[in-house]
Amino acid sequence: MTIIVTGGAGFIGSNFIYFELKNHLEDRVVCLDKLTYAGNLSTLEEALKNPNFAFYKVDICDRAAVYEIFEKERPDAVVNFAAESHVDRSIEDPEIFLRTNILGTQVMMDASLKYGVKRYHQVSTDEVYGDLPLDRPDLFFTEETPIHTSSPYSASKASADLLVGAYQRTFGLPATISRCSNNYGPYHFPEKLIPLMIANALSDKPLPVYGKGENVRDWLYVEDHCSAIDLILRRGTVGEIYNVGGHNEMRNIDIVKLICRKLGKPESLITFVTDRKGHDMRYAIDPAKINRELGWLPKTKFADGLEKTIEWYLTHREWWETIISGEYRNYYEKMYGGREEL
């Protein structure tokens, strides 16, 4: 089959493209990506050599351009990763989040209906459920947990999820949704916690931890997320939502200390800075449904995944050094220059 993957020049989308090209030699993968600050064509260098892969630089909000690609490629399936994905940026300037994450999703679904796509998959996030209190470790997000968002980013992702549900029920779009916890691994953009801390520690720069660093995230190695989406796409039930996570909760401060230890850097690099506005306390996914219905289980333990990730950043310095030496430097100064040391 032919699968359209949007946002494939970003972190998870690129990992998914490599996963599909490796595990489904019979399939053709077509990537649509606008190449925003977060998209990097060099990430797809190897894929571009594969005759089963094609790339189009396009904004998913550009209806005419998207329809033209569907007309030409006649996809069987669509996986929509394309999004503005960074919470801090959504707090600075929400508008592009609403445009890409909501209206872009609508265009992709309209195109899927118009061209008779057999399966549409929406890549969503655990952030749509809001957060959990630190003193209730017995609570987890299930697919029935009500949507209760905190940031413009999570609100835009939740809006898209509601639209997907509406398109499925009203227009019969054969859609599924996955809501995953925090990913980490190769090609993770260095504005996010783990790659930012690795890159800063390697350059002996301060490690900016928001607030007290007590917030908890549930970390999943990116390849495990890709295997979950692959299963849902091929065997999931239309109309269903699947939570994806690996029961791997960690406090931010513990992750940062672990990175210092692994890189042989002093903890004195850690700097506590002004907290994120509306900062979610804890995310924790209950992945029982995808395990029960599709037999999915994560394969990578956090200790191994972090080891592999650090190794990747050590051996791919050019990839992230190019990013942090470019336009990203202005973002960093704007975002962290204004944060007070606590």
> Of 165-204, which residues contact ligand NAD (CB under 6 A)?
180, 182-183, 189
Nearer to ligand TDX, 26 or 340 (CB): 340
Reported as type and span, the H/E element at residue 120 is: strand 119-125
Contact flag: residue 82 with ligand NAD (CB under 6 A) = yes
What gap in Å lies between CA 245 and CA 219, rounded to an integer? Answer: 7
Q: Which residues bind ligand TDX (CB under 6 A)?
A: 85-87, 125, 127, 182, 192-193, 196, 208-210, 215, 217, 252, 276
Residue nearest to ligand NAD (CB): 10
Pairing of strands 216-218, 249-251: antiparallel
* DSSP SS3 for 284: coil
Closer residue to ligand TDX in complex, CB, 70/210: 210
Taking the C-alpha atoms of residue 82 and residue 31, their distance in angstroms, rounded to an integer, is 10
Residue of 54, 77, 107, 123 interacting with ligand NAD (CB under 6 A): 123
Nearer CB in complex with ligand TDX: 196/260: 196
| Residue 7 contact, options ligand NAD, ligand TDX, none, Cβ 5-8 Å cut-off depending on partner type | ligand NAD
Q: How far is the CB of 122 from ligand NAD (least distance, A)?
A: 8
Task: Indicate which residues carry an active-site annotation.
Answer: 126-127, 153
* Short-list 163, 2, 172, 159, CA closest to 70: 2
Q: In the bound complex, what is the minimum distance in angstroms from residue 23's beta carbon to ligand TDX?
A: 24
Backbone CA torsion sign across 83, 21, 306, 268: negative
* Closer to ligand TDX by Cβ: residue 193 or 241: 193
* Nearest alpha-carbon partner for 218 in 150, 286, 277, 156: 286
Choose one: 35-43, 44-52, 67-75, 295-303; the region binding ligand NAD (CB under 6 A).
35-43
If one counts every other C-beta atom within 10 angstroms of the C-beta of residue 109, the result is 24
113's enclosing H/E stretch is helix 105-114
Give the integer Cα–Cα distance in Å for 260 and 204.
10
Give the interface segment with ligand NAD, choosing from 56-64, 162-170, 257-265, 285-293 (CB under 6 A).
56-64
Residue 248 contact among ligand TDX, ligand NAD, none, beta carbon within 5 to 8 Å by kind: none
Q: Is 70 exposed, middle or buried (0-12, 13-18, 19+ CB in 10 A)?
A: buried
Burial environment of residue 133 by CB neighbours within 10 A (0 to 12, 13 to 18, 19 or more): exposed
Choose among ligand TDX, ligand NAD, none what residue 196 binds, the Cβ cut-off being 5 to 8 Å by kind. ligand TDX
Tokens of 224: 């495990």
> Judged by CB under 6 A, does residue 100 bind ligand NAD?
yes
125 forms part of the interface with ligand NAD (CB under 6 A):
yes
DSSP 8-class letter at 338: T
Choose the one of ligand NAD, ligand TDX, none that binds residue 189, judging by a C-beta under 5 to 8 angstroms depending on kind: ligand NAD
Taking the least distance from each CB to ligand TDX, the nearer of 76 and 286 is 286
Q: Which residues bind ligand NAD (CB under 6 A)?
A: 6-7, 9-13, 33-36, 38-39, 59-61, 81-85, 100, 104, 123, 125, 157, 180, 182-183, 189
